[in-house]
Amino acid sequence: MSYFSRLTDIVTCNLTQILNEATDPRTAIAEIITEMQEGLAGAQRSVNTANSSEQRLKREIDEHRRSIESWTSKAREQLSAGSEQEARQSLMRKREIEDLIAGLEQQHRAAISTRQNLATMQRALEARLSEALRKREDLGGSAESAPLASTARFSVPAPTVVDDRQNQIDAELEALKRELGT
């Protein structure tokens, strides 16, 4: 039996209610955890893909910016050599690349936003999975019957997701230490 049709269903579900309505809560929680782990793996793939797209667009923009410098330099050389028409053509190429960069920058901003949204969803899924694992333990389920959900379990080539989260946690911990005077 599938409990969730979308990842947002996992985030918005009421585990207590689902388990109260289940004929066998232990079996239900095991199935729920499996579905959550599959959803989390899919979310991780989506974050990785979004991160790759973001990085690819950034590299492409940087490459085109170098090209602009080249066309500007070429136009200077051509003008110095008395080839005004060729200099004009070089500047037209430069302008075309600037227009292209403007479009790529818009896509890059959208890619950043997409990656951030997906990373937020991934963290919400991780939190919900942790809750399900605690409920399984409360029901007397074995902690070994399913792999533990931890960020170490999922390889994360997108360091910004984990690093940003870890940095936030470290900063919050330090603030609490200062607040408590320890």
DSSP 70-100: HHHHHHHHHHHTT-HHHHHHHHHHHHHHHHH
Amino acid at 104: L
Tens of pLDDT along the chain (182 residues) come to: 566 667 777 888 888 888 888 899 999 999 999 999 999 999 999 999 999 999 999 999 999 999 999 999 999 999 999 999 999 999 999 999 999 999 999 999 999 999 999 999 999 999 999 999 999 998 886 554 444 444 333 333 444 555 666 787 778 778 878 888 86
Tell me the three state secondary structure of residue 47.
helix
Beta-strand ranges (E) seen in 138-182 are none
Q: What is the pLDDT of residue 156?
A: 38
pTM above 0.95, yes or no: no
Q: What is the pLDDT of residue 10?
A: 80
H or E, element range at 40: helix 25-80
CA 161 to chain centre: 6
Q: What is the pLDDT of residue 182?
A: 67
Task: List helix spans (H) across 81-155.
Answer: 84-138
Contacts of 181 (CB under 8 A, 6+ apart): none
166, 155, 160: which is closest to 40 by C-alpha?
155
2-14 CB burial, b ≥16 within 10 A, e <16: ebbeebeebbebe
CA angle at residue 37 from 169 to 173, to 5 degrees? 10
Q: What is the pLDDT of residue 141?
A: 64
For 85, the token pair is: 């028409």
Q: How far apart are the first and last CA of the chain?
A: 50
Contacts of 50 (CB under 8 A, 6+ apart): 111, 114, 115, 118, 158
91, 84, 56: which is closest to 70 by C-alpha?
91
